[in-house]
Amino acid sequence: MRPIQIIIAQILFSQILLAQLPSGPHPRQQAAGAGPGAGIPAVATIPPRREAGGIQWPLRGPIGEEFHQGLDIDAPLGSPVTAAANGVVLRADSSEHRYGNQITLDHGRGITTHYAHLSRMSVSPGQHVQQGQVIGNVGMTGRTTGPHLHFEVRVHGQAVNPRRFLRQPSLKTTPQAAESRE
């Protein structure tokens, strides 16, 4: 990707987020079924922390590895993962390599978020989710060296660094791991 494309994507993304993400049903929303989490007691959600631009951290924890298509957020196995913004579940499935159990949310206007290495997914494709709603739990599925959440933000399919649009988490960044988590 050329530098000018990166700058344009970053400007576009910040303008879209500052305009606030839609809160109503998504136009592509399909009828949602009971979902894979049906019948399982709900995990308590972390208190919502709306950041500048309408997007919030999906999980509290130190950053284990810096931007590499996303960020790795370290957390204990089973910690709740929440939707960064209102949206519709595009995918909630398992990849036999790299990401393991993964969820992708569509927030409209070309913005998607991706959550990987989950131990549990509590949403299903077509389901509408609200910002701060628990969508899964931290795990070690796929190619990973420990429990963490791999979190991506994409604008029209291009990965952007989530740190540009979120305040620093309350915990300090950990030193980069000697070996990649992905």
Answer whether residue 170 is part of any domain: no
Domain ranges, residue 122 = 3-22+49-163
d(CA 83, CA 23): 13
Answer whether residue 40 is part of any domain: no
Q: What is the pLDDT of residue 142?
A: 94
Q: What is the pLDDT of residue 53?
A: 52
Task: For 58-109, write each residue's pLDDT tens digit.
Answer: 988 888 766 688 899 999 999 999 999 999 999 999 987 789 999 999 999 9
Q: What is the pLDDT of residue 69?
A: 86
Total structural domains in the chain? 1
Q: What is the pLDDT of residue 153?
A: 94
Answer whether residue 42 is part of any domain: no
HEC readout, the chain: CCHHHHHHHHHHHHHHHHCCCCCCCCCCCCCCCCCCCCCCCCCCCCCCCCCCCCCCCCCCCCEEECCCCCEEEECCCCCEEECCCCEEEEEEEECCCCCCEEEEEECCCCEEEEEEEEEEECCCCCCEECCCCEEEEEECCCCCCCCEEEEEEEECCEEECHHHCCCCCCCCCCCCCCCCCC
Answer whether residue 87 is part of any domain: yes
Task: Give 152's strand partners.
Answer: 114
Answer whether residue 68 is part of any domain: yes
Q: What is the pLDDT of residue 93?
A: 96
Answer whether residue 177 is part of any domain: no
Here the tokens at position 173 are: 């960044």
Q: Collect the ranges in the chain with pLDDT lower than 50.
A: 3-52, 170-182
Answer whether residue 82 is part of any domain: yes
User: What's 159's domain CATH number?
Assistant: 2.70.70.10
Answer whether residue 105 is part of any domain: yes
Q: What is the pLDDT of residue 68?
A: 80
Q: What is the pLDDT of residue 25?
A: 38
Q: What is the pLDDT of residue 133?
A: 98
